[in-house]
Structure 1
Amino acid sequence: MNQDTNVLLERIDRLESLDAIRQLAGKYALALDMRDMDAMANSFAPDVRVGRDKSGRAHLKAWLDETMRKQFHGTSHHLGQHIIEFSDADHATGVVYSKNEHETGPEWVIMQMLYWDDYERIDGRWCFRRRLPCYWYATDLNKPPIGGLKMRWPGREPYAGTFHELFPSWDAFWAQRPDKDALPQIAEPAPLEGFLKTLRRGADDPKIRVR
């Protein structure tokens, strides 16, 4: 097999992997909304970490089952833009937006969030190694989340989400006072497969508060 053929096969594999990962995010949303806990758990790696001291799909299924029964009757997850970058042929990182609706008791809670994902291909199948949910707001449909502490679940004290904590550019933007009479400096474009890493600028993962 010559070099050109190898390059072509690698490019085809990359395109198929991109599609499989996007499908994975869609399957996760559908499985969650239809309460198929087996399909949900099987979208993750077999040894997925669950909490601080547990691992495996069975523990994940048990946690998801309890969470859905305790907090929500119905949900609907609407996916937005999805950025995917590969570290090698079998590992990738991604960011996917999600706009969600939740039927929770007498209130209808809407949410805007994003997932920071790690993907891994195991035995030919792409799955989640990790999903880090970062929330901007959650509030009753009729109560716009103006102001701070935008996470406003029924029966709980409001708290701040972590939507912007992945990316230091948010705080840096508001901390700057640009000179209106001078053109700003422009950083070099991020390298290929390095857009997300460049935006992160070495920031730590945020501490996520359980819903």
Structure 2
Amino acid sequence: MSDDTTRDILARLDRIESREELRQLPAKYALALDMRDMDALVGLFPEDVRAGGGKTGRGALKAWFTETLSQQFDGTSHHVGGQIIEFLDADTAVGIVYSKNEHETGAEWVIMQMMYHDRYERIEGRWYFRSRQPLYWYATDLNKPPIGNRKMRWPGREPYEGNYHNLFPSWAAFWSRRDQGDSLPAVADPAPLEQFIETMRKGNEVENIRVR
């Protein structure tokens, strides 16, 4: 077996093992968050994680999570859905993770549909969340379907729009399309491997990237 073949096999094996480790991260995040194990939760992020407000570090992130979860929720359950993982290089990757969540908050039971745009980084042989960017479709009391606009409807707050579709320009383009008549629409080539998310994003960014 040639050296090139050996290197190729080892690189493929590393990619398989990395992908499996990355698939565990959102499930670990959900379990640690719902069980309120703040040390386990912040341990999924690197030591220099950005915690908002100009602060960095796991200690600052732990304080933020503790305050947020203590003040807003009595209990939570995060149901992890489909996940797409794409590697930028051997030690960095991006992902999209669907999440359906339930929150006990006072007298209301709030359900939420969202997804995360994740950035992952491998540091000293271990994969971490570099960041989690939340993209929200709706949040509403279990007995109040979020029909209409301003689907983010938290108790004690005015309803507002989520950012569920903002990362992907196809949503707005779909609804602004003109009648094509009888002609078939043009079809783009399939996205290259490891570039499905980036191809769909078309360079779009959503402001206020933060851990959530």
Same fold (TM over 0.5): yes
Count of paired positions: 211
CA distance in 2, matches of 1:36, 1:108: 22
How far off is 1:31 after superposition? 0.2
Q: Is the 8 Å Cα contact of residues 166 and 206 (structure 1) preserved in structure 2?
A: no
Q: Is the 8 Å Cα contact of residues 91 and 119 (structure 1) preserved in structure 2?
A: yes
How far off is 1:52 after superposition? 3.4
Query: Which sections of structure 2, spanning at least 5 residues, go unmatched?
Result: none
- In structure 2, relative to structure 1, the CA distance for the partners of 1:129 and 1:208 (3 Å cut) is closer
SS in 1 for 2:185: coil
1:102-146, Cα deviation, whole Å (9 max, x unpaired): 000000000000000000001111000010011000000000000
Q: How does 1:19-168 map to 2 (within 5 A)?
A: 19-168=20-169
- In structure 2, relative to structure 1, the CA distance for the partners of 1:5 and 1:208 (3 Å cut) is closer
1:204 maps to 2:210:
no
How far off is 1:208 after superposition? 6.5
How far off is 1:36 after superposition? 0.3
- In structure 2, relative to structure 1, the CA distance for the partners of 1:204 and 1:156 (3 Å cut) is same
- In structure 2, relative to structure 1, the CA distance for the partners of 1:143 and 1:111 (3 Å cut) is same
1:183 maps to 2:184:
yes
**Could you tell me the TM-score, scaled by structure 2's length?**
0.96
- In structure 2, relative to structure 1, the CA distance for the partners of 1:108 and 1:209 (3 Å cut) is farther
SS in 1 for 2:29: helix
How far off is 1:205 after superposition? 2.0
**Could you tell me the TM-score, scaled by structure 1's length?**
0.97
SS in 2 for 1:97: strand
Q: Is the 8 Å Cα contact of residues 92 and 120 (structure 1) preserved in structure 2?
A: yes
Q: Is the 8 Å Cα contact of residues 117 and 132 (structure 1) preserved in structure 2?
A: yes
- Corresponding residue of 1:14: 15
How far off is 1:209 after superposition? 9.7
SS in 2 for 1:38: helix
How far off is 1:178 after superposition? 3.0
Q: Is the 8 Å Cα contact of residues 133 and 210 (structure 2) preserved in structure 1?
A: no
Q: What code does the residue aligned with 1:41 have?
A: V
1:42-100, Cα deviation, whole Å (9 max, x unpaired): 10111001113110000000000000000001100001110000011100000000000
SS in 1 for 2:19: helix
SS in 2 for 1:86: strand
Task: Tell me the percent identity.
Answer: 64
Which is further off, 172-181 or 136-145?
A: 172-181
SS in 1 for 2:186: coil
Query: Which sections of structure 1, spanning at least 5 residues, go unmatched?
Result: none
Which protein, 1 or 2, shows the higher relative CO under an 8 Å CA cutoff with sep ≥ 6?
A: 2
Q: Is the 8 Å Cα contact of residues 162 and 206 (structure 1) preserved in structure 2?
A: no
